[in-house]
Structure 1
Amino acid sequence: MKTKTCVIQLVCALSVLFFALTPAVFGVEITPDISDPFYSPGTDPVGLAYDGTYLWNADADD
């Protein structure tokens, strides 16, 4: 029973360590800053979509 408790504690400690280091390893920003703001080209913006290449703007007037 004591071995099982030690294994569970070890797994928990490694999980915490993994999730603490994941942003540093993969370069993920926890609090990203606005790097390049832009205004909507239309008069009534209703949404944005990103297809992996382009950022699309949806406008209610179109």
Structure 2
Amino acid sequence: MLLITCPATRTDELVADRRIRSVTNHPTHIALHVECPACGSVHVYRTGRKLAAAPAREARIPVPA
């Protein structure tokens, strides 16, 4: 179960796992596409590190010569 906030209705909704439509793994976050029971549309929720922190983290990774 997931607790999401619908951006259309601004209500908190408890969502079953079967409502997750897809999961996408990105270098900086994981994106969950969830079907919302309140409005019926699919919303994207991102988890993990903030997107703004990604370039700073990548700049510290040494590149092999």
Bucket of the pairwise TM-score, normalised by the shorter protein: under 0.3
Q: Which structure is higher in helix share? A: 1
Q: Which structure is higher in RCO with an 8 Å CA cutoff and minimum separation 6?
A: 2
**With structure 1 as the length reference, what TM-score do the two structures score?**
0.22
Q: Which structure is higher in strand share? A: 2
